Amino acid sequence: AQSVTQLDSHVSVSEGTPVLLRCNYSSSYSPSLFWYVQHPNKGLQLLLKYTSAATLVKGINGFEAEFKKSETSFHLTKPSAHMSDAAEYFCVVKKGYSSASKIIFGSGTRLSIRP
Amino acid sequence: NAGVTQTPKFQVLKTGQSMTLQCAQDMNHEYMSWYRQDPGMGLRLIHYSVGAGITDQGEVPNGYNVSRSTTEDFPLRLLSAAPSQTSVYFCASTPGGQGVDYGYTFGSGTRLTVV
């Protein structure tokens, strides 16, 4: 069975410093993995997705994530944080190969940016 | 603008009342789903539909009904509201089919309070 664990419920970084949001997954086969971002009082927006192509995935707003099968990880990074990055981030794993297969959300990581 | 539209954005209900949360998409997506978001729990799947006339239960279906009479609309009905249903509800859609992963498009959410 698939599952996803976000290792930090809250991460705080200073503006201009790197961001690392950690995600570990459990899957019986090669999964599809996603990162979504939710700004306050807004819906969810797709940041990036991994679907068994390149292991380093680039997303919007300068974010990227690396799929590491040996570590069952899909951590989200950004070289330099911006105030507008303050939001909740969700790591998501998909349960099957169809584009309509069910998705499972992690519990979320709240990212705060210090001026 | 194309996307997923949810109404209302905010709602307060009394215990025992019923209501319908509306969700409509204009992207001709086959797959639609409803999630609830509670603090520290990510998003949990309530019900989903893989096409008009087809619905199925998700992780937390109790107390909710859905129907899918058209491709565009996927309303969520609360039969007899309870305080435990206080939550933020998100509707999402994605194209159907195998092999191509488009990710999900989410609505902006409905914040429901049951008193």
pLDDT for B91: 95
The pLDDT mean for chain B works out to: 91
Q: How many CA atoms lie within 13 A of A67 on its CB side?
A: 22
List CB contacts of A76: < 8 A, sequence separation 6 or more: A19, A20, A21, A23, A35, A47, A48, A63, A64, A65, A89, A91
Residue B16 confidence (pLDDT) above 60: yes
Suggest the residue from A99, A101, A103, A109 to mutate for an interface test with chain B (most B CBs closer than 10 A).
Answer: A99
Suggest the residue from A30, A51, A97, A98 to mutate for an interface test with chain B (most B CBs closer than 10 A).
Answer: A98
pLDDT for B46: 95
pLDDT tens by residue, B35-81: 999 987 788 999 999 889 999 999 899 999 999 999 999 999 999 99
d(CA B48, CA A96) in angstroms, rounded, equals: 15
